[in-house]
Amino acid sequence: MPGFAKTRLCPPASPDQAAEIAAAALLDTLDAVAVTPGAVPVVAVTGDFAAAARSAEIRRALTRTTVLGQRGVPFGERLANVHADTAARHPGLPVLQIGMDTPQVRPELLAAAAADLAAHQAVLGRAADGGWWALGLRDPATARVLEHVPMSRSDTGDRTHAALSRRGVVPRDLAELSDVDTMADARAVASVCRGRFPAAVAAVTR
């Protein structure tokens, strides 16, 4: 939604351009998930899609998924609740949780992460800014540790790894990716990305 999505891109992006970039990232991510072998896509949403950029396209893409509303206030609580709600909807399946900030993610990478998760209790994909782009858990109850991990910090990845390890679940590391927080991030990711995202970023005047 303009004014709410990817506001750290403004300036140089306008609120409408930032929302277009966010929508492109979401749609490219959904495309990658949709063709990942064995994936059962679940999307946890918040906000008003009627007011979103590319609203009709997003709604069409979501018809290929199970859509859940996010629950909770702090981000860590919402992340933990997504694991619980997904497990309740699809009991017995592990959960590989990703965001829409890494539109460069490819089905091959997601399939490899799922294979690692099949062999380990947890997997963690670190982000270059110190956070994480992917968290996979075979036991959804383990996600409750996220409620006590400060999010959106330069040590969030380390703190998540430590919290899981204290629980007795040492995650296997996945490949590190750069996520999109700033315009410099967006341009760097666009240079290695396919799909809608590069065009949405290129529309922003330097």
Does residue 21 fall inside a structural domain? yes
What average pLDDT score do residues 9-37 get? Answer: 96
Does residue 205 fall inside a structural domain? no
pLDDT digits (tens, 9 = 90+) for 145-178: 999 999 989 999 999 999 999 999 999 999 999 9
Does residue 6 fall inside a structural domain? no
69 Cα distance to chain centroid: 15
Q: Give per-residue burial for 106-137: e unless 16+ CB within 10 Å, then b.
A: eeebbeebbebbeebbbbbbbbebebbbbbbb
How many Å apart are CA 191 and CA 76, to the nearest integer? 31
Q: Which pair of tokens denotes residue 116?
A: 């690692």
Does residue 206 fall inside a structural domain? no
* Mean of pLDDT over the chain: 94
pTM of the model: 0.93
How many Å apart are CA 100 and CA 27, to the nearest integer? 8
Q: Which domain holds residue 172?
A: 11-199
Does residue 5 fall inside a structural domain? no
Residue 50 reports pLDDT greater than 90: no
Amino acid 48: pLDDT = 84
Q: How confident is the model at residue 1 (pLDDT cuts 50, 70, 90)?
A: very high
How many Å apart are CA 113 and CA 174, to the nearest integer? 7
How many Å apart are CA 134 and CA 131, to the nearest integer? 10
Does residue 35 fall inside a structural domain? yes
How many Å apart are CA 120 and CA 118, to the nearest integer? 6
Q: Which pair of tokens denotes residue 179?
A: 């996520």
Give the CA count within 13 Å in the CB-facing half-sphere of 197: 28
Does residue 3 fall inside a structural domain? no
Q: Which pair of tokens denotes residue 130?
A: 């110190």
Q: Are 200 and 20 in contact (CB under 8 A)?
A: yes
How many Å apart are CA 184 and CA 24, to the nearest integer? 17
Q: Give per-residue burial for 2-34: e unless 16+ CB within 10 Å, then b.
A: beebbeebbeebebebbbbbbbbbbbbbbbbbe
11 upstream amide cis, omega within 30 of 0: yes
Does residue 1 fall inside a structural domain? no
What average pLDDT score do residues 182-199 get? Answer: 95
CATH number at residue 42: 3.90.550.10
Provide the number of structural domains found in the chain.
1
